[in-house]
Amino acid sequence: MKCGELIHPRVIYGDTLVELGEKDENIVVCDADLSCSTQTICFARKYPNRFFNLGCAEQNLMGFSAGLALGGKTVFTSAFAMFGAGRAWEQIRNTIAYDRLNVKIVLTHAGLTVGKDGASHQITEDLALMRCIPGIKIYVPSDPIETKALIEAAYEYKGPVYVRLTREKLPVIYDEYPGDPDKPKVIVEGDDVVLYATGFMVQETIIAAEKLKEKGISASVVNVQTIKPLDVSEIVAHAKKTGCAVTCEEHSIFGGLGGAVSETLSEKYPVPVERIGVRDRFGKSGAAKDLMLAYNLSSDDIVAAAERSCERKKK
């Protein structure tokens, strides 16, 4: 993979499943009749006896996955995020998380950028839904290299994990994955404001940092790929360095990265925080790029938020 190359994270997911399945015969994969979209079809073709299609029945999908985990299997289970996290939330909470079962819930087509499928298939509430469940780990990869690393990390972790994947292609940011998958990654160093970003928004935030540099504002870009458990010490350290912050996510401003960072800083080191995300609105049909502009998720919106945060620091 070359820097800047655009690749679907779900393609990386499918390929990584095959690699993991080759080295561990205990892995099984479940899907809700969406294997071509989620790319679990790669595993299904290679290991048909370890693949289960539960049909368009996400609640049953989670219950079935829990049963396999109770039988000692390492389970990867996939669907669209709207239906996996939304429709099957109770089963994830009561059946998987409550018993700390070894189920990896890898949901694709998350966020606004599902695009033309519209509000019924877009979900900007899933991180909030998952964050409030005790004991579940949450990963949001920002590029193809990180997608592979986090799927592998989810496999190594013994317990429930939620991995959020976008439908859209992601540009390659990393040459190789830098260290601990649970620690935030500094992509750009800066002194005036810290831009915490996750998932699809990381690339947009890197662009925003370049625009801020042209305006004489030195911005750090910190990729927060592990939403839960949040690395509190790292979040606080960057806020102490810059004195103000912006959070950037393709998710509601309530309950996701913005909520997690704001909660942490309000308790540990209060600084001005501006949140870039979806503001109490449902999604709508449209091209991904147009939706990013319509919902104020562009690099220019991040720049404006950073300027506001810096101004608030001076008061």
> 291, 301, 11: which is closest to 151 by C-alpha?
11
> 196, 180, 146: which is closest to 306 by C-alpha?
196
**Residue 229 near residue 261 (C-beta atoms within 8 A):** no
Which CA distances in Å does 209 have to 173, 187, 305?
15, 10, 12
Which CA distances in Å does 104 have to 97, 107, 136?
11, 9, 10
Q: Is 105 helix (H, G, I), strand (E, B) or coil?
A: strand
- Catalytic-role residue among 58, 168, 234, 249: 58
Q: Is 307 a catalytic residue?
A: no
Q: Is 274 helix (H, G, I), strand (E, B) or coil?
A: strand
CA distance 215 to 64: 54
Q: What is the DSSP letter of 88?
A: T
Residues serving a catalytic function are 58
